[in-house]
Amino acid sequence: MSFNFATEGYRGCFGSLPEADGAQLRAKTAEYMKSFDPSSWSTNPITTLLNGTPLTGGTTEDTVDAFNRVNGKITLATAAEVDQVIAHIKGYQPPSTDLRPAIRAIDLEFCDAGKLAPTIIGNQAIDFQKQDGITEIEESIQANLVEQRINDELLKASAAGQVTIRSKQLVFVGCVSNFSNFLDLFRKVLRHIEMGVPVVVLSRSNTTQHMFRWTVILLEKLKEKGVDLGMVSYLACSIPEQRRVFAACPDCPMHFTGSRQVAEKIKEVVPKLFASTGGPNTLVSTQWNDQVGDAVRWSNLIENKGQCTALRHCVCPNLTVDQLDASYSKAPLIQNSLESIEKSEFAGIFQPQGTINSETASTAASEGSDGEQNYSKLASQPLMNVRISADLPVKITEHWRQLYLDVTTPAVVNDASFLTALAQWLNREQPISLAVNDSSFDVALKLFQMTGMVVYTVGTLEKPALTAQARPQDGEVFGEFPPRKEMLKYSHAPMVVPSAVAAYNSVYTEEYLVTKSAEAGGLAISETGKAVVAAIEDPKMKGYAVVLAEYLLDACKEPGKVGFGARTTLFGLQRCPIDYSGGTDEAFTKTVLLCDGNLDALLLYTLPFVMTTAAAQVQIEPPAKLKKSGEKKAQLEKVLALDIACVERDEVDPTAVFNVVICSKRRGARPISCLLSSLLAGCSRWGISSPPRVTIPRFWKLSARRRSGYGLREMVAVFSRSTTTRPIIY
């Protein structure tokens, strides 16, 4: 199925994309911002919007921008008005399951420099103080088309009776401030409603003005196109009232992009939270030079460190404060986002930020924040706080929108003991992005083998890679995953871009799976894999195993999927970290599969390992209660006869393995196969009493600067390690 990540059909959704007129976007946005009336966000405050009607009975409060400056008003919904929203969520029936023509026409207007694009870029720049919203729309014009094509494939599967899109379960949209136009408006909202899935956009505690403004415009456009206004609602209310709504609607999924701390709180009341959360993005360079210094500065200062892929941690031998100071002295000082747009800046330092946050920054630098101490200020940029140590940082606080950089200075980067420690640190902290710059692939390959990042970017010392670069429309797939053993604290499943957002709450139909079960005997997989499928008794589960196996055979073809664009890009599935020392199979990191009594579920979770090059990395626990009771004796004997290492539950040390997954069959849990294949790395944490549905695997994107001399053939040769006939999980 072509909507599944990394399949040949998925790759076919890329290419042949239009180019935006960036100069016109920039000029028109500047015009809009110059004519903008700041009082309009107070005289026309944010309100709850239900079926296109404002609900205005509540109290009115100030709203603030990214630097806590008052920038407008919001009228919070009363309890009775929130009850109306709850009733709408529970009772609304989408009148159509295919709104693509109308929604895609609206999409084009939002991206048009002569229509709505300058408004949404300008509002975001005014509210969030985004320096370069132009690039976001330039890339959205292309990425939107890729995701529309993926949606088309999902609808084909639905029409064929293979997949059910749960359009009656409305989706909550928790907006992110820095990429709200692409991630929220286009991706989470338009891509859902074009598939007939209604949404509720939620207010934020800050930078909430620009999301409300595009919601108002969207409702106006829906009315023009004859689309029912119940498809899009906006809920302006307090956090306690939001939580009351969530608790009243437990079947509704939520899409959220933000911090792990906030995601953990939301997950308490939203079981089906799909959260994209970030960690301390890291750049590794084996040497320092002016070019690497530029890459570090741009990565660290991007949007005045208001971007999810912004650099927080640099690794470079012998790096000094003076060298950093020389690099950061090149950073432009800007007064506001209009200036940055007019000057085409993306990594300038806001002067107002110094007035607002200088006291906070000074306190953090001298006394520490959450245990952080010993930051010093750069002479050329007194707002810039750096901390240099020979040891990897024990704890890092992000300091969103403030300027902080931790630097680790090993004697040599390409040292086995240091790389082992760095890999362990990366797997524990789980950055979104890891950039590696060296004169060869050696360090990048070792870190790739030993870690589980989503985005790897490789450059040279002359043309270094940044952490803050991702073009999903070119196959530079990205995602924001937490550490695997902590997955359920933050998310029901992680998410990748591009993908079909409605697929995250879609399932295979029972009829389709029963039909697929008859094809089990024809699978061209390993003998152990065939034995696993044959041992599954439930026809739907057996059919599910067939679908999963077919997906992996497609997604794991060598040499991996190749992207498009100026950078050479490979994307695909990656197995659990191989080891921390370059040793033998016995040193591979392990995923332990524990069984709660359902052997079909255990077998299904086992399949992605045994049919791929990840076979040596799984251990299973046959359920003791079945062994004692004699239940399912014949099936249990088949499980015990498999060529898979067994382990007893009380022998498992969760700190010594990559992951522990409790295998359970949950009623109706038939998510699409690219979600289920998370079995490769698991997503359960130790001690879960109510295990999750299987979820997305740890995807990866690896790109290199083509102009640096790293070509596709060299990349494939270096990163393809196995000569086995099994499908390769890199």
Which SS3 state, helix, strand or coil, does residue 640 take? helix
User: pLDDT band at residue 330, thresholds of 50, 70 and 90?
Assistant: very high
User: pLDDT band at residue 673, thresholds of 50, 70 and 90?
Assistant: low
Provide, rounded to the nearest whole percent, the portion of the chain with pLDDT above 70: 85
Q: Which residue has the higher pLDDT, 484 or 401?
A: 401
In a domain, residue 649? The reply is no
Q: What is the mean pLDDT of residues 659-672?
A: 67
Query: What per-residue confidence (pLDDT) applies to 368?
Result: 43
Name 601's Cβ contacts closer than 8 Å, sequence gap at least 6: 541, 595, 663, 664, 665
Check residue 415 and give left, alpha or beta (phi > 0: left; psi -120 to 50: alpha).
beta
Query: What per-residue confidence (pLDDT) applies to 561?
Result: 67
In a domain, residue 718? The reply is no
Q: Let me know: does 427 contact 457? Beta carbons within 8 Å.
A: no
Among the residue ranges 37-46, 273-282, 470-479, the one predicted with the least confidence is 470-479
Question: What's the CA dihedral at 427, 433, 438, 439 to 10 degrees?
Answer: 120
Q: Let me know: does 657 contact 591? Beta carbons within 8 Å.
A: yes
Q: Let me know: does 199 contact 232? Beta carbons within 8 Å.
A: yes
Any idea what the Cα angle at residue 397 is, between residues 699 and 334, rounded to 5°? 95
In a domain, residue 583? The reply is no
What's the CATH number where 63 sits? 3.40.605.10
In a domain, residue 83? The reply is yes
Site of tokens 């196995």: 722
Q: Alpha helices of 302-369 — where are they, by DSSP H?
A: 321-328, 337-343, 351-367
In a domain, residue 212? The reply is yes
Which SS3 state, helix, strand or coil, does residue 312 take? strand
| Tens-digit pLDDT profile for residues 505-546 | 999 999 999 999 999 999 999 999 999 999 999 999 999 999
Among the residue ranges 144-158, 185-199, 567-581, 707-721, the one predicted with the least confidence is 707-721
Query: What per-residue confidence (pLDDT) applies to 612?
Result: 85
Q: What is the mean pLDDT of residues 427-447?
A: 93
Name 505's Cβ contacts closer than 8 Å, sequence gap at least 6: 165, 166, 169, 171, 197, 253, 272
CA 240 to chain CA mean position, Å = 26
In a domain, residue 187? The reply is yes
Which SS3 state, helix, strand or coil, does residue 659 take? strand
pTM above 0.85, yes or no: yes
Exposure string of 334-371, with b = 16+ CB inside 10 Å and e = fewer, is: beebbbbbeeebbbbbbeebeebbeeebeebbeeebee
Compute how many other C-beta atoms are within 10 angstroms of the C-beta atom of residue 121.
29
Q: Let me know: does 48 contact 77? Beta carbons within 8 Å.
A: yes
Please give the Cα distance from 248 to 265 (Å, whole number).
Answer: 16
Query: What per-residue confidence (pLDDT) applies to 696?
Result: 27
Q: Let me know: does 342 contact 296? Beta carbons within 8 Å.
A: no
DSSP 663-704: E---TT--B-HHHHGGGGT----TT-SSPPPP----EEEEEE
In a domain, residue 170? The reply is yes
Closest CA relative to residue 432, chosen from 605, 252, 302, 587: 302
Exposure string of 280-307, with b = 16+ CB inside 10 Å and e = fewer, is: bbbbbbbebeebbbebbbbbbbbbbbbb
**Residues linked to residue 700 through DSSP beta bridges, in sequence order:** 572
Q: Which residue has the higher pLDDT, 668 or 147?
A: 147
Beta strands in 215-270 (DSSP E): 232-235, 254-258
Any idea what the Cα angle at residue 124 is, between residues 120 and 127, rounded to 5°? 135
Q: Let me know: does 638 contact 533? Beta carbons within 8 Å.
A: no
User: pLDDT band at residue 700, thresholds of 50, 70 and 90?
Assistant: very low
Please give the Cα distance from 639 to 633 (Å, whole number).
Answer: 10
* Furthest-apart CA atoms within the chain: distance in Å: 78
In a domain, residue 177? The reply is yes
Q: What's the number of domains the chain is made of?
A: 1
Please give the Cα distance from 259 to 263 (Å, whole number).
Answer: 6
Please give the Cα distance from 602 to 623 (Å, whole number).
Answer: 10
| Tens-digit pLDDT profile for residues 228-251 | 999 999 999 999 999 999 999 999
| CB-count exposure of residue 61 (10 Å: 0-12, 13-18, 19+) | middle
Q: Let me know: does 626 contact 519? Beta carbons within 8 Å.
A: no
Q: What is the mean pLDDT of residues 588-616?
A: 88
User: Which one-letter amino acid corresponds to residue 88?
Assistant: H
Say how many residues make up the chain. 730
Query: What per-residue confidence (pLDDT) applies to 671?
Result: 62
**Residues linked to residue 406 through DSSP beta bridges, in sequence order:** 313, 387
Which residue segment(s) compose the domain that 192 sits in? 22-252
H-helix or E-strand spanning residue 514: helix 510-517
Any idea what the Cα angle at residue 417 is, between residues 411 and 421, rounded to 5°? 95
